[in-house]
Structure 1
Amino acid sequence: MIAIDCQPFSIVNDEGFKSFVYGLNPNYKLPDRKTLSTTLLVRKYEERLATIKSVVSTECSSMCIAVDCWTSRTLQPYMAITGHFINKTTLDFKSILVQCSLLDGTHTGENIAQAISSAICEWNLTGKINFFVTDNAPNMLNAANILGYPHYGCYAHTLNLIAQNALALPDVDNTIIKIKKTVAHFKRSCQAKEKLLRYQINSQGIAEGSALTLIMSVPTRWNSTFLMLQRFIHLQEPIRATVPNLNIDLPVIPLQEWRCIEQICEVLKPLYEATLLMSGDNYLTASKAIVITQGLLNIYAQMSSNNTFYAPVQKLAKNIDVGLKQRLSNINDNLHITVCTFLDPRFKQFAFDNETLITTKNYIIEEICNIIGEDQPSTIPEPSSVPGFSLWNVIDQKISASQQPRSTYTKVSEELDMYLKQVVINRESCPLEWWRAHKSIYPSLFLIFVKYFNIIVTSVPCERAFSKAGHLINDRRTRLTSSKVAKLMFLHGNKNF
């Protein structure tokens, strides 16, 4: 309970909790705080660690890792590593928190690379790491170069950078500054907040529990600017009715600027939707990256030439279009991602141009040949000779002539072509279910599927781990040692494994 719900060990000293437990079972004696933290926590951690390591050892043939760093409210630096793999027996997609522990020293690329290498050795994952995902910070890029794993900068983080850079346009930024000042006042003033809520309840007929407040953007939270603007537009009527009665000098937003804000939301919405789609950690994301990038490029090419937008908004769309081309247009060059997309029965060859398709097919064939080796030409047995005349001589000779030895390359190419001829499945279908049903039909491609289909392209799972760590290291638990934090985070992060 303490690990799952991020409760403090001192909960066993709380009178209300003790009374609650006594009501459930008067004969049960609660363990004290020391027993929880020094005995039960260690025991549970070691049991869970052994169980997960056993599964990883036997069922994981390749693992994609995501890494991120974070500084706690006690100013201690932590690093989280999440691992993602396909269970080769059940073909389930699995995500684990490998560790969320103290990072000794500064957040340099060398220190990060050393800590990652130590974790990989501890988990016996040497030779199994097939992809490495981080944010786009220079120290992380340096760590990737040192480790030498195939690396990709977090897709969601890249979208956020594109949006933030585009929103820095003076005309757009000035509008956002106005909105932030208004939102900040409603966040600070109880009277202003109450008037905003009361207008929704009394004038718009909204139920008391359903009235909304404004949202303030946070630089470290992806999409928060869009969510702030979206809520601001949604509450346009209550805001315009409430602000004149507050007796405070807040920025004036004319009607044309309100329409401009609506258009900014319209422009930012595809980035928001793409970030949500690519931020899941319970389903596969890498195979969608190319498809979503193509969709974004198409949308913003249209938006940048949309003359119904106000000039600043049209320029915002153009800047996003430029940012996408600069940061994501080369995604087709990453063979790990193209292989994932190709082996996704929802997309197959339809996500590529001819050049990328040929490159990806050749890479897959080469990979399979390296895995299973090149076949030795087999000798076709001669038809058995029967003394005298035989009724089967003609057909035996024809069959023998047709069954010439085929190389591995030829057989894999034929299997790949057969895969491409089968119709794609519905976009909402699960590709893992499809491969469970077809692994015996495409045995060579299945080898590559298990090896590559575990790849994710965002470090969002690490971000979620740090969100939980923020709950863990709260005002009631600032004295927690880093070793106990690591154990509690491991139990919490792997509670559903």
Structure 2
Amino acid sequence: MSSKRKHSPLWTHFTEDIDNKKAKCNHCSTIISIAGGSNGNLTRHMKTKHLLIPLTAERQTPILPSLNSLKSSQSTCESENIISASSNIDSQQSMTQYIRRPPPVRKIEQIDKQLVKMVAKGHHALRIVEETEFRKLIELVSQCPGYKLPSRKTLSENLMSRIHNDVMAEAKIKVQAAPALSLSTDGWTSRNNDSYIAIVAHFINEETKLHSVLLGCINYKERHTNQNLCDFMKVVMAEWNISHKVAAIVSDNAANILSAVRLGDWRSISCFAHSLNLVVQEATKKICDVLGRVKNIVEFFNRSTQGKHKLAATQQQMNLPVLKLKQDVQTRWNSTFDMLKRIVQVKDAVIATVALLRPDLTLNEGDWEVIEEVLPLLSPFYEITVEISAEKNSVRFWIKNQRACEMVVQALRNKIGQVQLVQGDTPEAVPTSSDASTSIPSNKNSCIWDEYDQEIQKITRPDNQLAAGIRELDKYLNEEYLNRKEDPLQWWHERRLIYPHVYAYVSKRFCVVATSVPCERVFSATGQVLNERRTLLSSNKVSKLIFLHSNNFISPKRANERAKDLPFTDSSWELTN
């Protein structure tokens, strides 16, 4: 391809194909033919499909010496000498590239003043100065004095779409490289009464670490029937080309999603944390009267300004830590335990304050006994829920019944015996130090020792896949138990060459997570995006923002390569590790 085509401003919106005959739009991923050697098809596509996006990058302009400032009486030769001299000076390295000069005190005060104004007038959180991405932005801008902020239209229509496509392409590479994966899914309704469905993929990467990728948090406008949900998940799987890799789908216990998973002939795993929460809610119905009275006390202190300050003052007088009461929320796991634990911690202050301000809310001795006896019962549920809600935790089984354990081991023998290793996965035997010390020089022409070596190899590394898999599993079962706090994936990564058959099976099963909490985290982030100030955001932009928030894959190296394709780029704009 000619250099003229590559330097055209149109190529900030397109990516050249390998065969130099097609180009891919960075905004809508449309493939356009450029075999004729003209950019007419690219221009026509931008004017018809992306009319709002400017064709030329007018925002960043290079800072060059103005030739108009030179006197017209100067000769052409003198002008060339001046330009040549200035270019040589610019190419020379300066001390500022190695030692950064501290800014003047007056300039620092001016910037600090503007920062306070931005936080105050823009209703930004004070912690914005501690956010990593904001600090990176300030660092990059300080290295590029000629930078100009993009317009709102450029940011939403051009930059965000471009970065979204880059991150999605990189995420697809990671997902499609996984041997198997599990999906967690859940639904959520925004403050705008829009329905969103999130699907998160979990897989074991090449470093034997559990990795998660948000496939999409998509605005779903159809009815949430089992058939519609099944078709929706099939479309997402087909888009990411993972239909043949799904080991299981983790969801809550809603009837429609469970039916959709069965309809799609996928393995369904109920969210363990959700199931535990249902158990706690059902059990606490027996003490609903006590819980109701505790909720009334918490609600009073949360709504009454006088009660709030009086409770804090009482805690200080009693030399107790100043703590706020927590309210029980039915949809929030462990909130019942948190409410009861907190009110017990400030029991004396609550009794004194309630007796003074609201005697009708006083709890009797029987109520306090019930609360203090229930806490040890709810504590194990709290600890387990917190433990399994970690996104890096996969499903673990503890089988206490001996007969059931034997059945599981036999099933594993059959499964692992069917594992087919890819060529090169089976490692060569590594001689130990004892073998090296007692080794005898072999004679390559000796048929006796060749036959001996072949027989030993048949015993130690049988050709039969079933026999090799069973032998590996039996050896693995004799390993010592792993400590609960140790990482099983790290253990398998260190022994992946010792148990290649079992490791191949583990990489397809340890990707199953225990809960659908990853989707809940996605919805928490979506709620932050769709706050009161941004309720007019379209669902498409919300999905892109959440996708970029959850998937931060684009590497600095790739970003630098991408920046080199833009016009007027400068080496000082490059990202650093």
TM-score, with length taken from structure 1: 0.74
Shift of 1:408: 3.1
Shift of 1:15: 6.3
Residue identity opposite 1:101 in structure 2: I
Whether 1:113 aligns to 2:223 is no
Whether 1:252 aligns to 2:362 is yes
1:192 to 1:31, Cα distance in 2 relative to 1, 3 A:
same
CA deviations on 1:307-358 (whole Å, 9 max, x unpaired) are: xxxxxxxxxxxxxxxxxxxxxxxxxxxxxxxxxxxxxxxxxxxx44232222
Q: 8 Å contact 1:182–1:250 — kept in the other structure?
A: no
Q: In structure 1, what is the Cα distance between the partners aligned to 2:452 and 2:544?
A: 70
Q: 2:538 aligns with which of 466, 481, 485?
A: 481
Shift of 1:241: 1.2
Q: 1:191 aligns with which of 289, 303, 306?
A: 306
Superposition pairs of residues 109-258 of structure 1, within 5 angstroms: 109-169=226-286, 172-204=287-319, 206=321, 211-246=322-357, 248-258=358-368
Whether 1:469 aligns to 2:526 is yes
Q: 1:38 aligns with which of 154, 157, 169?
A: 157
Q: Give the secondary-structure state (helix, strand or coil) at the position aligned to 2:191.
A: coil
Superposition pairs of residues 33-432 of structure 1, within 5 angstroms: 33-58=152-177, 60-87=178-205, 89-169=206-286, 172-204=287-319, 206=321, 211-246=322-357, 248-281=358-391, 283-287=392-396, 290-291=397-398, 351-372=399-420, 407-432=464-489
1:98 to 1:272, Cα distance in 2 relative to 1, 3 A:
same
Q: In structure 2, what is the Cα distance between the partners aligned to 1:251 and 1:434?
A: 55
Unaligned runs of 5+ in 1: 1-13, 292-350, 374-390
Count of residue pairs brought into register by the alignment: 397
Shift of 1:398: 12
Q: Give the secondary-structure state (helix, strand or coil) at the position aligned to 2:243.
A: coil
Question: Among the aligned pairs, what percent are the same residue?
Answer: 33
Q: In structure 2, what is the Cα distance between the partners aligned to 1:223 and 1:496?
A: 33
Q: In structure 1, what is the Cα distance between the partners aligned to 2:419 and 2:533?
A: 53
Q: In structure 2, what is the Cα distance between the partners aligned to 1:428 and 1:401?
A: 39
Q: Corresponding residue for 2:112?
A: none
Q: In structure 1, what is the Cα distance between the partners aligned to 2:456 and 2:417?
A: 26
CA deviations on 1:416-452 (whole Å, 9 max, x unpaired) are: 1111112123222111221121111111111101111
1:32 to 1:15, Cα distance in 2 relative to 1, 3 A:
farther
Shift of 1:168: 0.9
Q: Which has the higher contact order (CA 8 A, sep 6+)?
A: 1
Q: In structure 1, what is the Cα distance between the partners aligned to 2:280 and 2:308?
A: 29
Q: 8 Å contact 1:113–1:146 — kept in the other structure?
A: yes
1:368 to 1:394, Cα distance in 2 relative to 1, 3 A:
closer
Q: Corresponding residue for 2:15?
A: none
CA deviations on 1:215-239 (whole Å, 9 max, x unpaired) are: 1111111111111111111110110
Q: Give the secondary-structure state (helix, strand or coil) at the position aligned to 2:188.
A: strand
Shift of 1:204: 1.1
Residue identity opposite 1:124 in structure 2: N
Q: In structure 2, what is the Cα distance between the partners aligned to 1:62 and 1:496?
A: 20
Q: In structure 2, what is the Cα distance between the partners aligned to 1:43 and 1:395?
A: 61
Q: 8 Å contact 2:189–2:196 — kept in the other structure?
A: yes
Shift of 1:109: 1.7
Between 1:484-493 and 1:248-257, the stretch displaced more is 248-257
Shift of 1:251: 2.4
Q: Give the secondary-structure state (helix, strand or coil) at the position aligned to 2:200.
A: strand
Q: By percentage of residues, which structure has more helix?
A: 1
CA deviations on 1:224-282 (whole Å, 9 max, x unpaired) are: 11111111111101101111221x3532211232121011111111111111111110x
Q: 8 Å contact 1:83–1:98 — kept in the other structure?
A: yes
TM-score, with length taken from structure 2: 0.64
Q: 8 Å contact 1:181–1:250 — kept in the other structure?
A: no
Q: In structure 1, what is the Cα distance between the partners aligned to 2:528 and 2:456?
A: 72
Residue identity opposite 1:16 in structure 2: M
Q: In structure 2, what is the Cα distance between the partners aligned to 1:109 and 1:186?
A: 44
Shift of 1:30: 1.8
Q: In structure 1, what is the Cα distance between the partners aligned to 2:152 and 2:360?
A: 51
Q: Corresponding residue for 1:459?
A: 516
Q: In structure 2, what is the Cα distance between the partners aligned to 1:454 and 1:363?
A: 19
Q: In structure 2, what is the Cα distance between the partners aligned to 1:469 and 1:255?
A: 44
1:90 to 1:205, Cα distance in 2 relative to 1, 3 A:
closer
Q: In structure 1, what is the Cα distance between the partners aligned to 2:176 and 2:393?
A: 21
Shift of 1:481: 0.4
Q: In structure 1, what is the Cα distance between the partners aligned to 2:196 and 2:447?
A: 76
Q: 8 Å contact 1:278–1:458 — kept in the other structure?
A: yes
Q: 8 Å contact 2:167–2:553 — kept in the other structure?
A: no
Q: Corresponding residue for 1:329?
A: none
Q: In structure 1, what is the Cα distance between the partners aligned to 2:253 and 2:535?
A: 30
Q: In structure 2, what is the Cα distance between the partners aligned to 1:42 and 1:16?
A: 27
Q: In structure 1, what is the Cα distance between the partners aligned to 2:553 and 2:329?
A: 30
Q: Give the secondary-structure state (helix, strand or coil) at the position aligned to 2:269.
A: strand
Residue identity opposite 1:166 in structure 2: A
1:34 to 1:358, Cα distance in 2 relative to 1, 3 A:
same
Whether 1:28 aligns to 2:139 is no
Q: In structure 1, what is the Cα distance between the partners aligned to 2:298 and 2:326?
A: 7
Q: 1:435 aligns with which of 492, 507, 528?
A: 492
Q: In structure 1, what is the Cα distance between the partners aligned to 2:498 and 2:449?
A: 32
Q: 8 Å contact 2:188–2:195 — kept in the other structure?
A: yes
CA deviations on 1:145-189 (whole Å, 9 max, x unpaired) are: 1111110111000000000011111xx110000001111111110
